[in-house]
């Protein structure tokens, strides 16, 4: 068999038991619904509130919600359809599309979380210069940087993946096209591809991780020296940012440092970062943030008012 003969892949079943399928269906469908509804609600709240829409932090938050919707949509819809009608194949093109969209939304989200940390760092450690530095122009360029960086990374990963010398069998032990699993189907030496993958992963992961670490360490050090209401409020905002960062990096660190590479455990980790994290982000921000909660209440009464006008 050669490369051209692999026109589709088959995902190995989670389990042959119908009960397990139903359980997964019952777990993933509400999570995916939360991803869509929760993140859409956050975006609508930010867009509908002039005060929030002025503020870089909330524009970043709305962009984060968009990325969460994209990240959540990489695997969940296909997984749900597969669970419903027991089909498990994906075409070669579909597989590459999943790799591209996963790496685009994942890398862009990683960059955005870093930008958000930098934004908090400027707001808390340099409050006087903050408004001049984080103007609309700067905000927009940082966002373009995130999206462009994600796109370059994703295209690079997809091109390297497409060059892999894949042989049969075409069975992937996962529920979405994942480079780690595809590499196992390679029939010859993939030394150069491995180096390219490691390079393009770490060009994003390492600088982002270091910047995050330094920003939050500086913020915490600054806030710890500050007492009173301002300090507490900053601490609580950073609390939700840090929770999101941990939820995002946790599974990545886990998968990369897990030497035993147990595919069952890897699968659970992927379910986590493909559906659970994107569903939790909006909850974390809305439950902890007074401004978002207030704006959501105003959006609700606006909607009620609108509906009442329609009825009259």
Ligand X SMILES: *[C@@H]1O[C@H](CO)[C@@H](O)[C@H](O)[C@H]1NC(C)=O
* Interface positions with ligand X (CB under 6 A): 43, 59, 62-63, 66, 139-140, 143
Structure letter (DSSP) for residue 272:
I
* Contacts for 60 with CB less than 8 Å, ≥ 6 apart: 112, 115, 116, 119, 139, 143
What lies within 8 Å, CB to CB, of 225 at 6+ separation is none
**CB of residue 102 vs ligand X: minimum separation in angstroms?**
19
**Shortest gap between Cβ of 29 and ligand X (angstroms)?**
25
Residue 63 or 98: which CB sits closer to ligand X? 63
Please identify the residue of the shown chain whose CB is closest to the bound ligand X. Answer: 62
Nearer of residues 116 and 143 to ligand X, judged by Cβ: 143
Rounded least distance, CB 63 to ligand X, Å: 4
What b/e string do you get for 265-290 counting C-beta neighbours within 10 Å, with b at 16 or more? Answer: ebbebbbbbbbbbbbbbbebbbeebe
Nearer to ligand X (CB atom), residue 251 or residue 278: 278
Q: Are 46 and 295 spatial neighbours (Cβ–Cβ below 8 Å)?
A: yes
Smallest gap, in angstroms, from Cβ of residue 160 to ligand X?
30
Coil, strand or helix at 11: strand
Rounded-to-integer distance, Cα 79 and Cα 92, Å = 16
CB of residue 58 vs ligand X: minimum separation in angstroms? 9
Toward ligand X, which CB reaches closer, 141 or 261?
Answer: 141
Q: What is the DSSP letter of 13?
A: P
Cβ atoms of 95 and 154 within 8 Å: the answer is no
**Measured from the CB atom, is 57 or 172 closer to ligand X?**
57
Structure tokens at 172: 């992937």
Which CB, 35 or 62, lies closer to ligand X? 62
The minimum distance between CB 192 and ligand X, in angstroms, equals: 37
Q: Which tokens sit at 230? A: 């301002």
């Amino acid at each position: 068999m050669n490369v051209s003969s692999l026109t589709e892949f088959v995902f190995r079943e989670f389990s042959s038991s119908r009960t397990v399928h139903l359980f997964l269906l019952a777990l993933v469908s509400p999570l995916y619904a939360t991803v869509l509804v929760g993140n859409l609600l956050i975006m609508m709240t930010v867009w509908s509130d002039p005060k929030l829409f002025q503020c870089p932090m909330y524009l970043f938050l709305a962009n984060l919600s968009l990325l969460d919707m994209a990240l959540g949509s990489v695997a969940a819809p296909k997984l749900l359809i597969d669970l419903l009608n027991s089909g498990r194949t994906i075409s070669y093109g579909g597989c590459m599309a999943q790799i591209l969209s996963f790496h685009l939304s994942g890398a862009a989200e990683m960059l955005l979380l870093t930008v958000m940390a930098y934004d908090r760092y400027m707001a808390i450690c340099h409050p006087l210069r903050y408004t001049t530095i984080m103007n609309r122009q700067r905000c927009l360029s940082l966002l373009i940087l995130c999206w462009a960086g994600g796109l370059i990374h994703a295209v690079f990963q997809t091109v390297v993946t497409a060059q892999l010398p894949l042989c049969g069998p075409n069975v992937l032990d996962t529920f979405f096209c994942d480079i780690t699993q595809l590499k196992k189907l390679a029939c010859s030496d993939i030394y150069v591809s491995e180096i390219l993958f490691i390079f393009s992963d770490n060009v994003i992961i390492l600088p982002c991780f270091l910047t995050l670490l330094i920003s939050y360490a500086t913020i915490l050090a600054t806030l710890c020296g500050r007492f009173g209401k301002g300090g507490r409020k900053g601490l609580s905002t950073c609390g939700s940012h840090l929770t999101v960062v941990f939820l995002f990096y946790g599974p990545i660190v886990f998968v990369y440092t897990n030497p035993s590479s147990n595919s069952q455990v890897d699968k659970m980790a992927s379910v986590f970062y493909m559906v659970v994290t994107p569903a939790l982000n909006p909850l974390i921000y809305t439950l902890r943030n007074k401004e978002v909660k207030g704006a959501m209440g105003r959006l609700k009464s606006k909607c009620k008012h609108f509906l009442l006008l329609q009825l009259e």
